[in-house]
């Protein structure tokens, strides 16, 4: 369950030193030959490109590394290149973009390259040069040596497997073992037919086709993805983040509910490199200390930005934050008064998107600084804040016939107008236990004048994997004291 992007994800979490991520994988160079097509060749029924421009960018694991730097972290990149001009061009690109790379030379193999022929926003065809087999044993040893050095400097280890030969059984085994020994979080973008070889990693990010191939099960719907994820446990028992193109992403964390995220892309121009960008955002977020759920949300946003660009794209932190900010326009207007049933349905929908639902309650008769602090703190504890409001009849039973001072309708409007609040629900019972059961919040917030074991519904929330948060009381602030001062 992760934060509502409009509330918290724009805030920089990491205020200390830049994090470092070791990226080990199949590096490549992406070339683009662009021009204008306005006629067909008389020699054969093919279009003629009037060439106007060439450009080259980092591809594969190198593109992951470039995106990591753009998102605010440092990189130690390990890969294999040939002894050719493509390797020299790739090195220059990486240096210019601030990527520290250890590129092992294999003179028997070409540097992996993809050359795309493009006119306008249309890609016509692609020319690939790549490995045909695994590197020789000597080159594999050099890869492992470079990988071990990078791992020791890193906060997170990312394996970008494009199935182009770098990750032989030997290399993969030694790299994962080195990362485990060093106590580093291991994130894998898999390309093998099955996932057994990635055991020991903390998280893998297959796409739906790769998950389907590994399990032999369809992965078109949410339920099918959930079934395939359950089946894959015999091969890999860590966390899965399944990318599903226009269907978004699905996060499966052991022992936790499954979360499905809809795509954040506004317009799809080119999907080239979008998976690399999503992987980079995932790694950066984890390195910065964000939860897996938060990292998945950021990864989804980063992918949405990448596919809106033409060609293999780099997404900066500024662009990612801007995309998150734009999402605020789609969230529900704060402070809506809802029935218990409506609130329960809203809460279920938010959780389905991976958002943490927070609940707090009170009379909120005369709003004061203590109330504002409670609500602000509650909002920071999660992503969506639902406030349970004692009805007039409930308050009269609790505090006598002279209270409340304001009607439940007025109190609901005032509480709902506070920026931190997403929903207000009025309840008639002496306690909100029935409302808590119906809404099933992930976080329950109460003032610190209670002990945790005294908070109504606390045991219920914790039994479901949630938590109770106690907010310090603002001294000298209460509705009762305000009433007493008015009477004096």
Domain boundaries, the chain: 5-329, 332-487
CA distance 14 to 80: 32
CA distance 103 to 131: 15
| pLDDT, position 417 | 85
CA distance 169 to 159: 13
Residue 401 Ramachandran class (φ > 0 left, ψ -120 to 50 alpha, else beta) = alpha
CA distance 243 to 240: 10
pLDDT tens for the chain, 488 residues: list them.
333 333 444 434 444 578 999 999 999 999 999 898 889 999 999 899 999 889 999 999 999 999 999 998 999 999 999 999 999 999 999 999 999 999 999 999 999 999 999 887 788 889 999 876 889 999 999 999 999 999 999 999 999 999 999 999 999 999 999 999 999 999 999 999 999 999 999 999 999 999 999 999 999 998 899 999 999 999 999 999 998 877 778 999 888 878 887 765 444 444 455 778 889 999 999 999 888 888 888 888 887 777 666 555 678 777 777 777 666 544 444 457 888 988 998 898 888 777 889 999 999 988 878 888 889 889 888 889 999 999 989 888 888 888 888 888 888 888 988 888 999 999 999 899 999 999 999 999 998 777 878 889 999 998 888 889 998 876 555 555 555 666 66
Task: Tell me if the domain spanning 5-329 has CATH number 3.40.190.10.
Answer: no
| pLDDT, position 308 | 65
| pLDDT, position 330 | 40
Query: Annotated catalytic, 222?
Result: no
Reported pTM? 0.64
CA distance 392 to 375: 21
| pLDDT, position 360 | 94
| pLDDT, position 329 | 45
| pLDDT, position 471 | 86
- In the block, tokens 């990312």 appear at 158
How many residues does the structure list for the chain?
A: 488
For the domain covering 332-487, report its CATH number: 3.40.50.620
Helices assigned H by DSSP within 53-168: 61-70, 85-96, 137-153
Q: Is the peptide bond before 404 cis (omega within 30 degrees of 0)?
A: yes
| pLDDT, position 332 | 44
Q: Which member of 276, 365, 383, 442 is catalytic?
A: 276
CA distance 159 to 171: 11
Q: How many CB atoms lie within 10 A of CB 147?
A: 27
Q: Read off the tokens for 124.
A: 């016509």
CA distance 107 to 140: 13
């Amino acid at each position: 369950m992760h934060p509502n992007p409009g509330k918290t994800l724009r805030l920089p979490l990491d205020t200390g030193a830049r994090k470092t991520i070791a990226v080990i994988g199949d590096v490549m160079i992406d070339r683009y030959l662009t021009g204008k097509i306005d006629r067909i060749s008389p020699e054969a029924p093919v279009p003629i490109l009037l060439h106007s421009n060439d450009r080259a960018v980092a591809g594969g694991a190198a593109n992951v590394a470039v995106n990591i730097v753009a998102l605010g972290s440092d990189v130690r990149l390990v890969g294999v290149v040939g002894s050719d001009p493509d390797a020299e061009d790739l090195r220059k690109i990486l240096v210019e973009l601030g990527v520290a790379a250890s590129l092992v030379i294999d003179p028997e193999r070409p540097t992996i390259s993809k050359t795309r022929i493009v006119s306008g926003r249309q890609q016509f065809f692609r020319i690939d040069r790549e490995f045909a087999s695994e590197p020789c044993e000597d080159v594999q040893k050099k890869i492992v040596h470079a990988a071990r050095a990078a791992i020791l400097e890193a906060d997170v280890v990312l394996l970008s497997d494009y199935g182009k030969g770098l990750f032989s059984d030997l290399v993969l085994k030694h790299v994962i073992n080195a990362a485990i020994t060093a106590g580093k979080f291991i994130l894998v973008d898999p390309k093998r037919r099955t996932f057994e070889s990635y055991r020991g990693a903390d998280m893998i990010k297959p796409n739906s086709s790769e998950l389907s191939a590994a399990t032999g099960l369809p992965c078109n719907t949410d339920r099918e993805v959930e079934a395939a994820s359950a089946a894959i446990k015999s091969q890999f028992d860590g966390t899965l983040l399944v990318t599903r193109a226009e269907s978004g992403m699905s996060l499966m964390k052991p022992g936790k509910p499954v979360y499905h995220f809809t795509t954040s892309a506004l317009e799809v121009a080119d999907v080239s490199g979008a998976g690399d960008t999503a992987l980079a955002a995932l790694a950066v977020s984890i390195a910065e200390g964000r939860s897996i759920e938060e990292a998945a949300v950021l990864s989804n946003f980063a992918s949405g930005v990448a596919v809106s660009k033409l060609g293999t794209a780099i997404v900066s932190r500024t662009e990612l934050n801007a995309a998150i900010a734009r999402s605020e326009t789609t969230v529900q207007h704060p402070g809506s008064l809802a029935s218990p049933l409506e609130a329960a349905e809203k809460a279920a929908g938010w959780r389905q998107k991976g958002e943490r639902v927070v609940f707090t309650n009170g009379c909120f008769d005369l709003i004061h600084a203590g109330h504002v602090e409670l609500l602000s703190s509650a909002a920071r504890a999660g992503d969506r804040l639902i406030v349970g409001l004692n009805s007039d009849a409930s308050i009269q039973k609790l505090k006598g016939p002279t209270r409340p001072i304001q009607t439940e309708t007025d109190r609901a409007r005032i509480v709902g107008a506070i920026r931190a609040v997403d929903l207000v629900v009025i309840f008639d019972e002496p306690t909100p236990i029935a409302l808590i059961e119906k809404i099933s919040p992930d976080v329950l917030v109460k003032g610190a004048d209670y002990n945790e074991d005294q908070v109504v519904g606390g045991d219920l929330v914790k039994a479901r994997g949630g938590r109770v948060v106690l907010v310090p009381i603002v001294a000298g602030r209460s509705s009762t004291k305000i009433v007493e001062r008015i009477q004096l």
